Structures are given as C-alpha cells and as structure tokens.
Structure 1
Amino acid sequence: MPEGLSGTDWQLVVADNASTDDTVAITRELVPAARLVEMGHNTGWSAALNAGISAADEFDAVMVLNPDIRLVPGSGLAMYDVFGREGDIERVGIVAPRMYDGGGNLSPSLRREPTVTRALGEAVFGTCAGQYHRVLGETVYDETAYAQNTTADWATGACLLISAECLAATGPWDESFFLYSEETEYALRARDRGFRTMLAPDAQVIHLGGGSCGDIGNSETSPRLWSILTLSKVRMYRKRHSLLAYAVYWSVVFLGQSVAAAIGRPWGRRAVAVLLRPSKVELG
C-alpha cells in the first residue's frame, strides 16, 4: 500500500465487521499506526464505511478499499489528480481506477444507471448483455472507455476515491444496504448534487476477487450472495423511482431469475425466494 499511495499524505483506517480470521491481530502487528474500528458485529459495508470515515483525522479525500485490492505504485496520486479540473460545470466527486483481475485481465468496473431496458437485457442475455449494446446492460465493456478520463453513472465500489467536498454534500452512505448497490445509490445521489464519477486511466489496481461476466451463472456462483445482490438491486431502484416503475423493474428482474431457476440454477432459485419474501435473505 505505501507504494500505491506514494506522493500523498495518508492515514489507514480499518473498519472490522467482527471478522472471524486474524484481521485485527494482523492489522495491529503490520500497521500499528492504523486506526482500527471494531464494529462488534457484521453491520454491513455501508455502516462500516461510515464508521471508518467518522474515525479518520481531517482529510480532503477518502479512498474506499476492499481488502483484496492491491494498489499499483502511484495509483493513489493518479486518482487524486483527477479532482479539481478547471471549467467543469459538474465537479468530479468520485474517482475510480482502471481495475485488473488477479490474472492481469482488464476488469470492467464502470457502470451505467439501472433501467428497465437494461434489466430486461440482462434477464435475456445475462450479465454480459452490455457487450452487445449499451442499452442492454449496466456494465461498460468498451475498452476505449478505460483508456481515457471517462465519466460513468457509477463504478464498482472495490476501490474508489471520494472528495471531502462530495462527501459533505452527499452525506453518509445508506446503511439500509447491507451489501451490494450501496455504491450505485451513492454515486447517483452524488450526481444529483452535481458530482461526477470519473475513471482515472493512469491509476491501476489489482482486484484479486474480481472476475469476468462469464463467472456469473457458473457452478461457483454463491446463491446467498446472489440473492443479496438481487434484492439490493431492486431496493435501490425503488428508492429513485415511482411505485409503477418499480413494479415493472421488479417484474423484469423476477422473470430473469425465474428462468435461471427453471433451468436448475441454485442461485436463481434463491433469488426468486428472496424477491417473493425479502425476509428470507440471509445477511451477515
């Protein structure tokens, strides 16, 4: 991490959601100066992030990091340099790096705003639908988008740099999301307040847990995590749309998961169950 943040003045804050491994002990041993926030139980991503930000010293930007992110040297400064572009009507408030998986392959991390059409495209063609046309899927696959300062509706939350100005204007992350879609909601809420999400092509990170769209729907897909993701998506959509629009969106998502369930996908069956009875989703 020090090489990844070279050229910046940084502080490490670790929010631990009652981990069952050696995270706390390793943090204290390897980075004794780190500020450790022990949540006491698994509060979810947004709550832990809010607690970590609240525990930090004064800052002008916050980098949100998954524990499986590895920063390429100089990536932090490259992300920070995207802020403060003169003449922008909408300020850059959130910066995403160019992300690669553990095998060195580009991991598409830019996203488009969820719509009924995109939900339908992904129900028919799967999570790779965005490869066929931008209106069919949320994920941006065009490689040229990752070679320049591209503005996106949102970006995956495994690694993001958020300006203090954006944080102050947008407010805390929505803790009603336990996992997934919290970064979608936050980036769209920031956009409502005049802040853009932008890619920093010169900033590169390795996401060890990242994968391709083809990884979704195979035998390794976790039914539990997929059900949380699916429920979070429809809940996020409801927060920004009318009840009628939400009903249409929910129906399209339900249709896609029902087809998956019908052809024997365990994750599809689990998603159908939680869409019908949200209380059945297993958190923690």
Structure 2
Amino acid sequence: MRADVAIGVVTYNSADHVGALLDSIPAACAGLTPCTLVVDNGSTDGTVALVERRGDCTLVRAANRGFAAGINLAAAGTDAPYLLIANPDVVLRPGSVTALVEAAVATGAGIVVPLLETSDGQVQPSLRRDPTLLRNLGLASTGHPALSEHVAGPADYERRHPVDWATGAVMLVSRTCLDEVGPWDESFFLYSEETDFCVRARERGHLTVFEPAARAMHVGGGSGRSNRTHAMQALNQVRFFSRRHGPVPSWLYYAATVGRIALRGLRGERAAWPILGMILRPGRRPAELGLAGTLLPR
C-alpha cells in the first residue's frame, strides 16, 4: 500500500531522543498511512541499534554528509505525495501530521510547518523573515520587523498564514514541491539549508504556510551545540546572503556578522571569540563547509 505521507528523520548520535519521536508518529498520523525512513549520518552512540530493533521504520545508513544530504536520501526513498521532515529531538502531538496535510491540501502550499513548543509547553518562535542587511545588525530587541529576522508577535502564532521561511525542525513538503524545486543544497552541510529551500520554493510558486493546529514539542540540541556549530551557522548565513546579492551588500553583511559577534565578546561572552576566529580565518573554518579558500563565504 502506498503511503500517504513519508516521515524522514536524519539522525546523528540521537539515541537519547529519536525513540520518543518514532513512538509519537502513529497518533500524529491519525487517518493517514505513514512510512518512516531514518537516515543515520554515522552515529556512534547506539542510535543505529535502537532503530534496528524497531519494526516500524526503515533505516538508511549513510556517511555524515550533512543534514541536507540526509533529507535528499529520505526524499529519494519514497514516492509518497508528502514528506514530513522531522528532527530526531521532536515529539509530534496527536493529529499534527494530519493537520499539516490538511493545511497543504486546503492552501495548495508546497511547505507547511507546525507550531513548535518547548518541553514545558511554551511557544517556540520558529517563524522567520528573509535575511537582510538591516536584520543582521543585532537590533532584533527593538521589535521592529525591518530589524528582526525572527517573527515574535504572539498573534503570528495563533493563525494560519504564509511566512518567508521557518526553522526546519518539522516541515511538511509536497512531492510536487520537491520535484520542482530540486534537491536540498548539500553545500550548507548544517544550518541555512531550510532557508535556501523555502526561498527557492517560493521563487517557483510554492508558499511556506504556518499551521497552528499542528503542534510538536521540540527539545532542541539533540545533536549538541558547540563553538564550531555556532560558527557554521553564522558562516552559512553569510553564504546564503552572498549567493543572492552583489559584492558590496555581501561584504557589508559579512562585516555586520563580524561586528555582531565581536560585540557579544566585548559584553563578556567568552565563547564569541573562538567563533569569531573561525569566521575571520578561513583556515580555521569547519572543513565540511568547503570555505577555507575564501574570506567571504559563498
């Protein structure tokens, strides 16, 4: 029987979290026929053994070529009309996937995202505006939309509406959208790949829609954060921006990133300095990004 929706989970040392996600899938897909693919990016902590013991999912073992590469493997492994991309550190609420599919049908959107909650039930701001130079100046605390990439207004999390993009912890993508937009960009390795995909989808007529009737708990940090991954995130933000703008705005965006992180260091955040070192010195950058040969990430 063909699945109504495929659940694609990319794991990396996710043994502490992925079981709860997999347990939540049946109730989340009420009325639907799901299939689940777990793409493991070379875990060493028991994730593979945990998944292999289960009879409700298919394990795809892969080298660690990044999150986008894992998504592409999951997408290639199914012909279901929808692919739900889920981080291993989320728990899907009952009926959530069904609500996402219903929203996709009702709106014709290529991408639908749910309301994310913290473990204590608080709304986790996950909606984003397109990156701009002004929004990279570190002035989000003003609350002005022109100065903040984060969508933080409570009313924006109470209604269904289109958004520029959203964090990729949980994201339903239609097969039509996947086929027309093409693979997720594996050069990002980790971070900004969802920004890139949502923007490319919008350019091809596929909106990203937020659906608050669908909810998921996002624990966050299932694979851990470090100075290295923080630097990777900042570098990929510059890379995404510079690929879509000319030299002058791209260098200004890079300079704003440097200034923003340096300011954090001057305010006493010690971790900011090693992060800044990786941004300013190409030879220190994460090798997975392939950015050692150029100062401006592209």
Task: State if a TM-score over 0.5 links the two structures.
Answer: yes
1:229 is matched with 233
Conservation of the 8 A alpha-carbon contact between 1:179 and 1:229: yes
Conservation of the 8 A alpha-carbon contact between 1:178 and 1:283: no
Any gaps of 5 or more consecutive residues in structure 2? 1-24, 289-298
**SS of the residue aligned with 1:77?**
helix
For 1:14 and 1:248, the matched residues in 2 are separated by: 40
* Equivalent residues in 2 for 1:16-95, closer than 5 Å: 16-30=40-54, 32-39=55-62, 41-56=63-78, 58-85=79-106, 91-95=108-112
- How far 1:115 moved relative to its partner? 0.2
Q: Does 1:277 align with 2:281?
A: yes
2:29 is matched with 5
2:218 is matched with 207
Conservation of the 8 A alpha-carbon contact between 1:108 and 1:139: yes
Q: Does 1:178 align with 2:197?
A: no
Q: Does 1:240 align with 2:244?
A: yes
For 1:84 and 1:71, the matched residues in 2 are separated by: 20
1:216 is matched with none
Identity %: 35
**SS of the residue aligned with 1:157?**
coil
For 1:48 and 1:267, the matched residues in 2 are separated by: 29
* Equivalent residues in 2 for 1:124-135, closer than 5 Å: 125=139, 129=140, 132-135=143-146
Conservation of the 8 A alpha-carbon contact between 1:130 and 1:140: no
Pick closer, same or farther for the CA change 1:7–1:110 going to 2, 3 Å.
Answer: same
- How far 1:221 moved relative to its partner? 6.8
For 1:130 and 1:60, the matched residues in 2 are separated by: 40
2:198 is matched with 187
Residue identity matched to 1:142: G
2:267 is matched with 263
- How far 1:266 moved relative to its partner? 3.1
Tell me: higher relative CO, structure 1 or 2? Use CA pairs within 8 A at least 6 residues apart.
Answer: 1
1:28-52 CA deviation, whole Å, 9 max, x = no partner? 112x24221111x321100111112
1:90-125 CA deviation, whole Å, 9 max, x = no partner? x411100011011111001100000000001x2xx4
Residue identity matched to 1:95: V
For 1:245 and 1:270, the matched residues in 2 are separated by: 25
Q: Does 1:252 align with 2:256?
A: yes
- How far 1:131 moved relative to its partner? 6.1
Q: Would you identify which runs of 4 or more consecutive aligned residues in structure 1 move more than 4 Å?
A: none
Name which of 165, 168, 181 aligns with 1:157.
Answer: 168
Name which of 98, 119, 126 aligns with 2:136.
Answer: 119
- The TM-score normalised by the length of structure 2 is 0.84
For 2:76 and 2:271, the matched residues in 1 are separated by: 36
- How far 1:278 moved relative to its partner? 3.2
Pick closer, same or farther for the CA change 1:130–1:262 going to 2, 3 Å.
Answer: closer
- Greater alpha carbon shift after TM alignment, 20-29 vs 62-71: 20-29
RMSD, aligned α-carbons: 1.9
Pick closer, same or farther for the CA change 1:184–1:202 going to 2, 3 Å.
Answer: same
For 2:225 and 2:65, the matched residues in 1 are separated by: 23
